[in-house]
Amino acid sequence: MGKTLFDKIWENHVVKHIPDGPDVLYIDRHLVHEVTSPQAFSALKARGLKVFRPEKTFATCDHNTPTIDQDKPIADESSRRAVEQLAANTAENGITYFPLGDPGNGIVHVIGPEQGIVLCGQTVVCGDSHTATHGAFGNIAFGIGTSEVEMVMATQCLLQSKPKQARITVNGRLAPDVTPKDVILYIISRLGTDGCTGCFVEYAGEVFRDMSMEGRMTVCNMSIEMGAKGGMVAPDSKTFEYVAGRRFAPEGAALQECISRWSALKTDEDAVFDKEYVFDAADIRPMVTYGTNPGMGVPVDGTIPESAVGCDAATFDKALSYMGFHKGEAMSGKKVDYVFVGSCTNGRIEDFRAFASALKGRRKADGVTVWLVPGSKSVEARIEEEGIGDILRGAGFEIRQPGCSACLAMNADKIPEGKYAVSTSNRNFEGRQGYGSRTILAGPLVAAEAAVTGCLGIPAGY
C-alpha cells in the first residue's frame, strides 16, 4: 500500500515510537503570540529552563493589538501587559520577535509564510487553532494547548498519536465570482462541523491545483471548522515560487536542494485514506453563513434550509433565533451593519485586491461601518504600493493597521450587540465578534457587495 503525503512527513519526524502509545514528534517551527505563551514561559522559568532551540521559534503580537494608533501605548491594560510580557519573554530566551510596528509584524498565520519562516514538508505548531493555515505548503501544521507549548519550548518535540486521514477532491473550474473562501464554506456546509473530526485532510483535484497559494492558505485555515486536526495541499511549482526570496527562506543552491526534496512530497497513487469526499466546482456559488457555526452555510442567493448537516433540531432552531432569521428566508437582500475584511483567513493582499476589484466605481454605503484590516505590515505596505489604498479611500473606505481585529472579541474592534456583520474571518459562534453580535461569514467579493449596498447579494460584475 502506498503512502500519503501526511504519512511521509509524519514518518520523517518521528523521533521515537512508544509502543501502545503516542509518537515523539520533532517540531520544525514553533510560532508564538501573546495569548497562549505567557503561562508556558512562566512554567519553563519555574523549572529553571529556557527555550531549547530558540532559532526554531518565532513570535509576533496580534490578538490583543489595536488596529489604530499603534504608535501609542495600548490603552487596554490587560492587552498592554500581555504584549509587554511577550517582548520580555522572547528577549530573555533569544527568540525572533516581530513587535508592534515592526515591518515583520502581523497575524501569526500571515507572517509565517510571508517571511519564509514556514517552508514545506515541516511540522508546524502554535498555541492557536488556525495553525492549520500552514498546511497549504505541504506541512503537518496544527494548533496546540498551553502545556504542549511548554513541551515544545523545552524539548522541540511533542507527544502525538497519529490521526486518521481524509482526502477532499474538488474537480472542474470555479465560476469567476467564487473565491477560495466560498470553496471551503461550501465543503463545510456539505460535511458539517464534525465531518472530518480528528482527521488530517489533504485537498486534491483541479480546483486546488489551480488555486493560488493565498487561496490554499484560506482553505487550510478553515479545515478545523469541520472538525479536522489540520489540512494540507501537496507542494508544487506555485509553492516553490512563493517561498523563493522570502526573508528566512533558503537561497541559491540550498533552495534548489530543498525544492528537489519537496518535489517528492505527494501522495502515492495507491495510498488509501480513511475518508474520501469528491465535489464538483460547478456546484459552488458565492457563500454566506446564516447560523452560529461555519457549517450553517448557503449560497448568498439561496434560502435558509430546514436543517443543517450534523446539527440537531434544537441547536438549529436556537441558532436561527440568535441570528433573528427564519427557515425559508432568502439571504440575498438582508441588511448588514458592519463589514470586516481581514483575519488569518482573508487578510492577505489577494483578498484586498479582490475587494477593490468588486467596487467598480461604487462607494461605501451610508450607515455601514467597514473595517479593512491588513493581516500584516507587509500586506499594509503592498496595499499602498499597488494603488489599492487610493481606490479604497476614493470609495469612502479607510484602512486600519494590522492585527486580528474583529475576528474575535479580544481587542477594541468589537461588533455591538444585535448588529449584523459580514466577516471574512473563520468563525461565527455566538459572541465571537462581541457580546450579542451576529456574524455572517463570507468571502471578500460578497463582503465588498455588502459594503457598497448595505445588504447581502451576488457580487456585481461577475
Q: Which domains occur in the chain, in start order?
A: 5-160 (3.30.499.10), 164-235+257-283 (3.40.1060.10), 287-453 (3.30.499.10)
Exposed, middle or buried, 1 (CB in 10 Å: 0-12/13-18/19+)? exposed
Q: Which long-range contacts (CB under 8 A, 24 or more apart) does 9-13 make?
A: 9/121, 9/122, 9/123, 9/138, 9/139, 9/140, 9/265, 10/140, 10/162, 12/121, 13/123, 13/140
Tell me which residue has cell 476589484. Answer: 357
Q: Which long-range contacts (CB under 8 A, 24 or more apart) does 250-253 make?
A: 250/119
* Contact yes or no for 242/259 (Cβ under 8 A): no
Lateral strand order in the sheet of 14-17: 14-17, 23-26, 157-160
Q: What is the pLDDT of residues 430-451, one digit of tens each?
A: 999 999 999 999 999 999 999 9
Question: CA-to-CA distance for 53 and 329, rounded, in angstroms?
Answer: 55
Q: How far is CA 367 from CA 199, 234, 355, 455, in A?
A: 43, 44, 19, 11
| Residue 379: partners with Cβ closer than 8 Å, 6 or more residues away | 106, 110, 114, 347, 348, 349, 352, 402
Helix orientation angle between 377-385 and 349-357, rounded to the nearest 10 degrees? 40
pLDDT value at residue 165:
98
C-alpha of 127 from chain center: 14
Cβ count near 86 (within 10 Å): 24
Phi/psi class of residue 361: alpha, beta or left (left: φ > 0; alpha: ψ in -120 to 50)? left
pLDDT value at residue 460:
86
Q: How far is CA 166 from CA 163, 230, 233, 398, in A?
A: 10, 10, 12, 41
Q: What is the pLDDT of residues 18-60, one digit of tens each?
A: 999 999 999 999 999 999 899 999 999 999 999 999 999 999 9
Question: CA-to-CA distance for 61 and 153, rounded, in angstroms?
Answer: 18
pLDDT value at residue 360:
86
Per DSSP, the three-state class of 294 is coil
Nearest Cα to 201, choosing from 251, 132, 280, 148?
Answer: 132
Give, in degrees to the nearest 5, the angle at Cα 245 between 216 and 97. 80
* Contact yes or no for 144/127 (Cβ under 8 A): yes
Total-model pTM: 0.97
pLDDT value at residue 152:
98
> How many CA atoms are closer than 13 Å to the CA of 255, on its beta-carbon side?
16
Per DSSP, the three-state class of 80 is helix
Tens place of pLDDT for every residue, the chain, 462 residues? 899 999 999 999 999 999 999 999 999 999 999 998 999 999 999 999 999 999 999 999 999 999 999 999 999 999 999 999 999 999 999 999 999 999 999 999 999 999 999 999 999 999 999 999 999 999 999 999 999 999 999 999 999 999 999 999 999 999 999 999 999 999 999 999 999 999 999 999 999 999 999 999 999 999 999 999 999 999 999 999 999 999 999 999 999 999 999 999 999 999 999 999 999 999 999 999 999 999 999 999 999 999 999 999 999 999 999 999 999 999 999 999 999 999 999 999 999 999 999 998 899 999 999 999 999 999 999 999 999 999 999 999 999 999 999 999 999 999 999 999 999 999 999 999 999 999 999 999 999 999 999 999 999 866
